[in-house]
Structure formats: structure tokens, C-alpha cells
Amino acid sequence: MEPALFVELVDCFKKKYSIKTICECMGVPRPTYYRWRLKKYEKTELEKEIIAICEQLKFRVGHRTVKGLLKNSGTIVDRKTVQRIMQKYNSQCRVKPKRAKKMAGESNLVVPNLLEQNFKADAPNQKWVTDITYLPFGESMLYLSTILDLYNNEVIAYKVSDTQNAQLVVDTLEMACRKRKTAGTILHSDQGAQYKSRVFQVTAKENGIITSMSRKGNCFDNAVIESFHSSLKSEEFYTQERVHLTNDIVQQKVEDYMYYYNYIRPFQKLNCHSPIEYRTMAA
């Protein structure tokens, strides 16, 4: 009798018959059955290590990232092995839906599109991207304004507000400017009314920032920040069943995610380091 097959057989019939009866019918001693069962469900050291990584990162990363983290810690393992173990213990990350096709944009710009979908930066504060997203998870609609550094995808500044106005993006920009040197920094946004506003453009100019804008109706021109906001919602809010949240809880969850994203979340493009860790190592 194959041990694994017998353990599965007992699992199928133990609700109807006692384990003792099944063992007697099959001629397998009960101690032998329990030894087989323990062996089948005992995790290997690799499985324990992979599960620990997934739990630490709240099941937010895929098998390729887990493989990279294992490599960083000195454990070399095949990607498919990691994937199989994650599937075995239902530890896969939530998959974000992909856009079906690229949208065509228009060319009526307020300021030039300086990035032209070139999201690579060779140094900090070279290229920033910014956007506003909706947070429909609390008692009322909230809005999140974020500024991201394309060098290491680090969140430089963010603000949550119950009002989607020019002051929201100005406050976020001023927060970023207090933290970083901004002379010559390119700040890319969409053509939202908040970014077209005089107060935002003046604030950017006063801090030596060069503004850039996407083509109208083309979210792919600002894909990095769009993807970040999508990840925040997928990983922090959509991973649980819909529950009632207060606005304070929503803001706290955003704050928790920002810390996790900057200081803990590993990125394959950063050699499986977090944004802060990567910038610190480069410096």
C-alpha cells in the first residue's frame, strides 16, 4: 500500500468510519498510519522558509520575487520549485488584472510630455511622477495624492484628503520639496485640473521643478504611478472580504502600506531590495 494514497483514503472515509476500522480493513497498523500521515504533512525546511517569506510580506509577492529573496539569503532554488510550493500551500499573491490593450491619446498638451514613457532614472530626484486616486473604502470617498521617484520607485510624499482639489496636490508637492533637492527635477502628471492649476504650476516653478504632462486620455504615459495605486488597492484593500471601514482606518491602512512599500516590499528591478534599502546601498 502506497503511504500517501492510504493517508488520502483515510481522509476520504474517516467521517463515515473510524480510523481504527479503516486500518483493520486494509491491514495497516494504526501507528504506521499516523507515522505516514505525519511524514506526508511535515514541511521541509525550504517549505517553511518560503511560507515564512510569504507570511512576512502578507502574500503580496509572486514566486519570482520569493526566489530572488531566497537567493539573497544564500538559498539557491529553481523558480518552478518555489511556484509549486507556493501553490501547494495556497500562498500565491493576488494577481492584478492586465489592461487589454493600449489606449490612443490626444496631443493637446498644457506642458510638454518630457518623459514620453521613459520611466528610467539614473539618480534620485531626476524624474518624479504624481497622480490622484480614489479610495472608496470608508464612510465617504477619500482621495490619495502621491509622488513617486522613478529612480527606485520610492514614495517621496503622499496625502489623503476628503477633497480632490488643487490644494491637495500642492500640499503633496510641498511635502516632497521639504525632503529632497528639487532643482532640475522633472515632475510628470496627467492633465487633471489640479495639475493645470496656476497655484500648482507656480509652486513647482518656485522649487526649480520642471513640469511634464501625459497626453490627454492616455494613462500609459503615467503608467508607473497608475500601477502603484493599483497595487496599493489590490494588496491592502482587495485581499480581504468587503468589511465596514471608517475613514480613520482607511488612512491608517494607507500609512501602513506606504511604510511597507518603501521599507519592506522587495522589487525584482531593484535586485529584490526595497526602495529605501536600494537607495541606501547605492549611496
Give the pLDDT of residue 106: 38
- Checking if the pLDDT of 105 tops 50, the result is no
Give the pLDDT of residue 240: 58
Give the pLDDT of residue 261: 95
Q: Name the most confidently modeled range: 32-41, 85-94, 112-121.
A: 112-121
Measured at the alpha carbon of residue 246, what is the angle toward residues 240 and 250, in degrees to the nearest 5?
Answer: 60
Distance CA 117, CA 164 (A): 26
Question: Mean pLDDT in the chain?
Answer: 88
Per-residue pLDDT tens over the stretch 171-187: 999 999 999 999 999 99
Query: For the ranges 55-59, 209-213, 217-221, which has the lowest average pLDDT?
Result: 55-59
Distance CA 135, CA 203 (A): 26
Query: Higher-confidence residue: 234 or 118?
Result: 118
Distance CA 283, CA 5 (A): 56
Give the pLDDT of residue 33: 84
Distance CA 126, CA 119 (A): 11
Residue found by looking up cell 518603501 in the block: 262
- Checking if the pLDDT of 108 tops 70, the result is no
Which among 215, 152, 217 is positioned nearest to 188, based on CA atoms?
Answer: 215
In this prediction, residue 43 has a pLDDT band, given cuts at 50, 70 and 90, of confident
- Checking if the pLDDT of 100 tops 70, the result is no
Give the pLDDT of residue 102: 46
Give the pLDDT of residue 244: 75
Query: Higher-confidence residue: 243 or 246?
Result: 246
- Checking if the pLDDT of 274 tops 90, the result is yes
Do 91 and 54 touch, CB atoms closer than 8 A?
Answer: yes
Query: Higher-confidence residue: 228 or 92?
Result: 228
Query: For the ranges 12-21, 94-103, 134-143, which has the lowest average pLDDT?
Result: 94-103
In this prediction, residue 109 has a pLDDT band, given cuts at 50, 70 and 90, of low
Do 250 and 135 touch, CB atoms closer than 8 A?
Answer: yes
Distance CA 192, CA 165 (A): 10
The model scores a pTM over 0.75: no
Phi, psi of 155, deg, nearest 5: -75, 115
In this prediction, residue 95 has a pLDDT band, given cuts at 50, 70 and 90, of low
In this prediction, residue 270 has a pLDDT band, given cuts at 50, 70 and 90, of very high
